[in-house]
Amino acid sequence: MADLLARQLASRRELSRAELLDQWQDGFAGLVRALAATAPGTRIPWYGPPMGAASFATARLMEYWAHGQDVADAMHVEGAPTARLRHICHLGQRRHRADTGLVATGAAADDWLDVAQCFAGPPGAGRARRATSS
């Protein structure tokens, strides 16, 4: 997989912004067509366990949002959450729960917020809480 990613980066490094955007849009359109044509019950292989087309699409949406959020965090840009994030929330959160306004109702929900993660596989250490400024 590392070789594939290195080749993709190398092949796109010299593209203009417009050319790169065109490639992304073409790739997205191709993904939508492929997922729409996927037979019900088909499992799509990925880094974690194989998943159905709807879950695969939701996971890709989560990745776009999560990595975009990484960039926004690095640039200290705050976005306004919308109801469209419900698809992301279905998979898990990206931030430390103490850095959010999430409120858990009930012990099970409270426990879930401590272990929620975006990626398949065993839980890791999770994202550290942001440093607070005093």
pLDDT tens digits, one per residue of 79-119: 887 887 777 776 667 667 777 788 889 999 888 887 776 55
Write the DSSP assignment of 81-130 as a string of letters.
Answer: P-GGGHHHHHH--SS-GGGS-----SHHHHHHHHH--SSSSS--S-PPPP
pTM, to two decimals: 0.57
- Asked if residues 35 and 53 have their Cβ atoms less than 8 Å apart, the reply is yes
List the chain domain ranges. 19-115
